[in-house]
């Protein structure tokens, strides 16, 4: 039972680590994704729109995983840019739990607000990503003790390039405009980049790669004029903060191409004395084609 408090604190600490940087504000992708009105399309048009994002080609962006020995990373010649933004608010409460008068789980409260935004460009079997963070973590005295004794607020950024070169994935990264680092095989080999930052980049890469999976799933979506796009119909979904949110997933196509992806939902969890409430939203705005990526000179 002691692990419950540590688990809750771990969520807060992870976000706090992300904010040990210095940056700016969001890029407006969430508001734009909400405002775009998608068009009704045929199944054939739907599949054509997603084929450029992988579809039958099983598009992936190389980042964390090194290829198997003797194998070349498989990446499609996809060409697009994405503006990405998430907003998350969480209130966490932990109930005190005792056994025979001994406190096994200490009562605690924490609140987290977090915005993450990114610009991602994929072209020529390469990727360029700029990620920014802005957030605040507050809580009861026992939580703040684990955060260094006071409320944490801050913002920051990290820039990453990946490329397939000589059959392996080459990664370039820098934090807050500092010196470039390089690593062969995956981002996990980078030094001085926090695990929390790498984990968030992995989440974004997974979300981008998953969009191509909508190829062939036209019948799983229904066009809704009030929500300006195609709404996923197969029950509750996970979200950008680890599957804690249901809500609508809305895909918007315009001019025969993917224009935006929007997901919004409420957080309401209660598990073994740990309650989490709040909300989360994620928006992606796509530009298809016309992109190029030039690797940095290191």
* Concatenated DSSP letters of 257-269: EEEEEEEEEEEEE
Query: Would you say the C-alpha torsion 270, 276, 277, 280 has a positive or negative sign?
Result: negative
Taking residues 119-135, what's their average pLDDT? Answer: 84
Q: How confident is the model at residue 121 (pLDDT cuts 50, 70, 90)?
A: very high
Q: What whole-number distance in Å separates Cα of residue 89 and Cα of residue 69?
A: 42
For the whole prediction, is pTM greater than 0.85? no
Residue 224's pLDDT is what? 95
Residue 192's pLDDT is what? 63
Residue 146's pLDDT is what? 60
Q: What whole-number distance in Å separates Cα of residue 74 and Cα of residue 52?
A: 15
Taking residues 167-188, what's their average pLDDT? Answer: 78
Q: What whole-number distance in Å separates Cα of residue 67 and Cα of residue 69?
A: 6
Across the chain, what does the average pLDDT equal? 74
List all residues 6 or more positions away from 166 whose beta carbon is below 8 Å from its beta carbon: none
Which comes out higher in pLDDT, residue 19 or 88? 88
Residue 3's pLDDT is what? 25
pLDDT tens column, 250-273: 999 999 999 999 988 887 877 777
> Is the pLDDT confidence value at 225 over 70?
yes
């Amino acid at each position: 039972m002691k692990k419950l408090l540590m688990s809750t604190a771990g969520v807060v600490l992870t976000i706090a680590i992300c904010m040990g940087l210095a940056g700016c504000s969001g890029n407006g992708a969430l508001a734009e994704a909400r405002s775009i009105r998608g068009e009704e399309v045929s199944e054939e048009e739907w599949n054509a729109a997603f084929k450029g994002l992988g579809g039958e080609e099983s598009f992936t962006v190389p980042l964390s995983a090194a290829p198997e020995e003797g194998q070349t990373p498989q990446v499609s010649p996809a060409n697009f840019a994405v503006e990405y933004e998430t907003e998350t608010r969480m209130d966490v409460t932990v109930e005190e739990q005792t056994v025979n008068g001994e406190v096994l789980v200490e009562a605690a409260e924490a609140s987290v607000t977090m915005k993450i935004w990114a610009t991602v460009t994929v072209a020529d079997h390469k990727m360029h990503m700029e990620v920014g963070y802005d957030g605040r973590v507050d809580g009861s005295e026992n939580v703040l003790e684990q955060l260094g004794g006071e409320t944490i607020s801050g913002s920051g950024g990290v820039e990453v390039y990946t490329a397939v070169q000589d059959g392996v994935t080459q990664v370039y990264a820098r934090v807050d405009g500092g010196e470039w680092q390089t690593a062969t095989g995956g981002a996990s080999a980078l030094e001085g980049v926090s695990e929390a930052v790498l984990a968030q980049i992995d989440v974004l890469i997974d979300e981008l790669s998953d969009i191509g999976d909508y190829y062939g799933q036209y019948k799983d979506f229904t066009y809704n004029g009030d929500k300006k796009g195609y709404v996923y119909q197969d029950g509750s979904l996970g979200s950008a903060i680890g599957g804690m949110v249901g809500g609508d997933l809305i895909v918007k196509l315009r001019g025969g191409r993917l224009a935006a992806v929007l997901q919004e939902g409420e957080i309401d969890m209660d598990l073994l004395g740990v309650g989490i409430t709040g909300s989360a939203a994620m928006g992606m705005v796509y530009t298809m084609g016309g992109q190029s990526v030039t690797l940095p000179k290191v």
